[in-house]
Amino acid sequence: MTREAMKHGAVNLSQGFPDFAAPEDIKRVAMQAIADDVNQYAITWGAKDFRDAIARKTKWYLGFEIDPESEITVTCRSTEGMISAMMATVDPGDEVIVFEPFYENYAPDAILSDATPRYVSLRAPDWSFDHNELRAAFNANTKAVIICNPNNPTGKVFTRDEMEFIASLCQEFDALCFTDEIYEHILFPRAGADIGHVSMAQIEGMRDRTVIVNSMSKTYSVTGWRVGYCIASPEITSAIRKVHDFLTVGAAAPLQTAGAYALSLPPAYYDQLQKEYEARRDLILPELEQAGFGTFRPDGAYYVMTDISGFGFKNDVEFTRHLIREIGVACVPGSSFYSDPAFGAQQVRFCFCKKDETLMLAAERLKKLTH
Ligand SMILES: Cc1ncc(COP(=O)(O)O)c(C=O)c1O
């Protein structure tokens, strides 16, 4: 969709990457690291100063100790973290439960690990799941469940009750949980709702069953740096490190130095990030609604899923093509987030990790839509 947007000069609200500058100080540390000749391989499982910073930040944000020597693997972004974690733990014949709509990589990751994905629906408007449907998806072959929290593409933030229910099934069926937490700091608290980040590793009995997959991409607005990490028990970490060593050897050394700096930033950095994203969400949401979209208000991450049934298009792909070519705004067809394209045929996703002027330009163009 990004390539289509470029081809047709559309405002790109499809792929989730910021069009604003990354923080100056983080960039300066990266440039200084290159000037200081941090230009050769880092330790394959991650530079020590970066792993130490990850352990300190995890203690601050999630409240538990991790051993940087045996429980962290630095990867080439979270994309590699997820596939390394799966390849390290999942065997042929295993099943991996994926909530849908899903971030596109999870099912291919499971398939590449010779496992079978099993889908459980998150249902609009609040994207909750049916407890019985989830329970029915667990069986003796279930190796793991994947949770993306806060969630791409829906903006859902799993409640503690939901997490505890999933945790109880993982324990009952002796399954692991892979949690993609790359939007952990992009949350929009609201009155009457308990919107806070809960990591599966914080739930009782889940610390050793959970692989946290995270990355610098979203929290520090550096999606092109490709630096991420996995946090897991020493036993699982040892397996992840072996896969990682053969897949990529290691992540960019000078960018890990910058990562050590970034992950040591004070809480004020994250408060500001959250406020800025909340303002962007509050800017785009009413514009989408006025343009005729049904919107599902996100509680976290930087996407809005929308309902396009008011526009009368046959499906999401046809609508997206029209939006890019005739209206000049790019989004992602909803069907790309479902195992069966029919489920997303009347949905599209917009991202709002963009400058205000980009969002306003998109809003201006969306006024041309008729419904
Ligand atoms: C849920 C989710 N996980 C992983 C990724 C990829 O992140 P990374 O840049 O760390 O590979 C994205 C990117 O959009 C995402 O939305």
- Most distant pair of Cα atoms in the chain: their distance: 58
**How many CB atoms are closer than 10 A to CB 279?**
11
CA of 368 to the centre of ligand 1 (A): 32
**Is 220 in contact with 203 (CB distance < 8 Å)?**
no
Look at the block and give the residue holding tokens 């099943």: 95
Instruction: State the Cα–Cα distance between residues 225 and 221, nearest whole angstrom.
Output: 9
Residue 37: its H or E element:
none
Please name the residue whose Cα sits nearest to atom 6 of ligand 1. Answer: 79
pLDDT at 78 (0 to 100): 96
The pair of structure tokens assigned to 188 is 């929009």
3-state SS assignment for residue 306 = strand
The pair of structure tokens assigned to 287 is 């514009």
**Distant-in-sequence, close-in-space partners of 15: CB < 8 Å, separation ≥ 6:** 1, 2, 332, 351
Q: What is the atom index within ligand 1 of the atom nearest the CA of 78? A: 10
Instruction: State the Cα–Cα distance between residues 281 and 302, nearest whole angstrom.
Output: 8
Q: What is the atom index within ligand 1 of the atom nearest the CA of 301? A: 16
CA of 104 to the centre of ligand 1 (A): 9
| Torsion (CA) 205, 208, 213, 215 in degrees, nearest 10 | 100
Q: Of 232, 230, 201, nearest to 215 (Cα)?
A: 230
3-state SS assignment for residue 187 = strand
pLDDT tens per residue, the chain (371 residues)? 999 999 999 999 999 999 999 999 999 999 999 999 999 999 999 999 999 999 999 999 999 999 999 999 999 999 999 999 999 999 999 999 999 999 999 999 999 999 999 999 999 999 999 999 999 999 999 999 999 999 999 999 999 999 999 999 999 999 999 999 999 999 998 877 777 899 999 999 999 999 999 999 999 999 999 999 999 999 999 999 999 999 999 999 999 999 999 999 999 999 999 999 999 999 999 999 999 999 999 999 999 999 999 999 999 999 999 999 999 999 999 999 999 999 999 999 999 999 999 999 999 999 999 87
The pair of structure tokens assigned to 60 is 């601050």
The pair of structure tokens assigned to 41 is 């391989």
**Is 49 in contact with 257 (CB distance < 8 Å)?**
yes
From residue 118, alpha-carbon distances to 33, 43, 105 in Å are 44, 36, 14
- Pairing state between β 142-148 and 116-121: unpaired
H helical segments located in the chain: 2-8, 24-35, 48-62, 77-89, 106-112, 131-137, 160-172, 234-247, 253-262, 267-290, 316-322, 356-366
- Which of 83, 154, 215 best tests ligand 1's pocket when mutated (most atoms within 8 Å of CB)? 215
Please name the residue whose Cα sits nearest to atom 16 of ligand 1. Answer: 152
- Pairing state between β 116-121 and 95-100: parallel
The pair of structure tokens assigned to 200 is 């599966």
Q: What is the atom index within ligand 1 of the atom nearest the CA of 183? A: 1
CA of 16 to the centre of ligand 1 (A): 8
Altogether, the residues listed in the chain come to a count of 371
The phi, psi pair for 355, rounded to 5°, reads -60, 155
Instruction: State the Cα–Cα distance between residues 55 and 68, nearest whole angstrom.
Output: 6
**Vertex 277 angle, CA 350 and 348, to 5°:** 10
Q: Which residues line ligand 1 (CB under 6 A)?
A: 16, 77-79, 103, 148, 152, 180, 182, 215, 217, 223, 228
- 106-127: burial string, b at 16+ Cβ within 10 Å, e else: bbebbeebebebbbbbbeeeeb
Q: What is the atom index within ligand 1 of the atom nearest the CA of 103? A: 1
